[in-house]
Amino acid sequence: MKVFHSETHQKHRIPMPRLASGDSDAYLESPERVATILAALKKTPWAEITPPQDLGLEAILAVHTPAYLDYLQNAFSLWKDHVNEDGQVSIPYRAGIDVVTARSGSIPDQDGFFMTDLNVPICAGTYEATISSAYCGLSAAREVASLSPTALGLCRPPGHHAGREICGGFCYLNNAAIAAQWLVRFGKVAILDIDYHASNGTQSIFYDRPDVFTVSLHADPARAYPNFAGYAQETGSGPGSGFHRNFPLPSGTDDDLYCQVLDQALALVDGFSPKFLVLSAGLDTSIHDPLSDLKITRNGFFRIGQMIADLNIRTAILLEGGYNTDQLGNNLVALLDPFTL
């Protein structure tokens, strides 16, 4: 299996200040996530790790607006007046700014428009890392378009919370949406998201379209991020009505219950008859993940991978969440193993 990986992701490294005594100073979406995955992949006989192609901005701009890319590229330099003595960027967040003000105003105004939360700080290397992350996803899409059954994009930062011109939840560019948009020229595409958190960005991008079917299994947003999206009644609008499905999961969901719900989701994917599948592979459903209240084991990830692989659809697998670095690499290998059998 081709595995597309770029060391550029390491340029997105965020030191987080302690806000109070006892607070953790760890930013969970860290470069160590990819390091533990690479260590696990290198122990397999099937992972062929290769750098992504530099594919330019055209495919990214097919999903995200030029104004938003300009914001990501220039935000750090505009924030320089707000950098404290430790070099930590302070994000002067201001909510509720209209689009005209955001695109012509100061950096606090732009933050208020382009950011949905404070979990997307931007450092000097963030923009370059996000572009290389998108290239990893696009390279995986190109690989499956070239008749390979499966390819993996080690996308970091992740992407499924990013909308057309918003970032949030550790996500800046929506790698899955960019890959799906590029693939749709060759036939119908389905996006299956198995991250712990609802894929609000992916949902919003394709919500009114019938050519990309989107489905997400995730913690009920009544108790988990992003809270404002991911509910079962959200099924698409206009021409896209019926082409999006959410499966909110109760706290404590184990392997058996998860696979029962996944079976329902996969039946919908199969009924759509896509030529390609983009799998947003979040591993933060793990029983060991610090952000999860689900109970998916390593064997559960293997079962999930087996069920998806049994669809026999050419699949671009893109990394999303997963924050226990002791478990992440081996859990991802367990998910991928069935695709290599």
Q: What are phi and psi of 244, to 5 degrees?
A: -135, 140
User: 123 pLDDT band (50/70/90 cuts)?
Assistant: confident
According to DSSP H, which parts of the chain are helical?
32-41, 58-61, 66-78, 99-104, 107-114, 126-145, 175-183, 200-206, 255-272, 298-309, 328-336
Residue 19's pLDDT is what?
Answer: 44
161 a catalytic residue: yes
Residues 187-197 pLDDT 10s? 999 999 999 99
CATH of 2-340, one of 3.30.950.10, 3.40.800.20, 3.40.50.720, 3.10.180.10: 3.40.800.20
What are the structure tokens assigned to 157, written together?
Answer: 């930062």
Question: What number is the average pLDDT over the span 130-137?
Answer: 98
The model carries a pTM of 0.93
Residue 100's pLDDT is what?
Answer: 65
- List 5, 64, 160, 161, catalytic entry: 161
Query: For helices 66-78 and 107-114, what crossing angle results, to 10°?
Result: 130
Residues 35-84 pLDDT 10s? 999 999 999 999 999 999 998 999 999 999 999 999 999 888 877 665 55
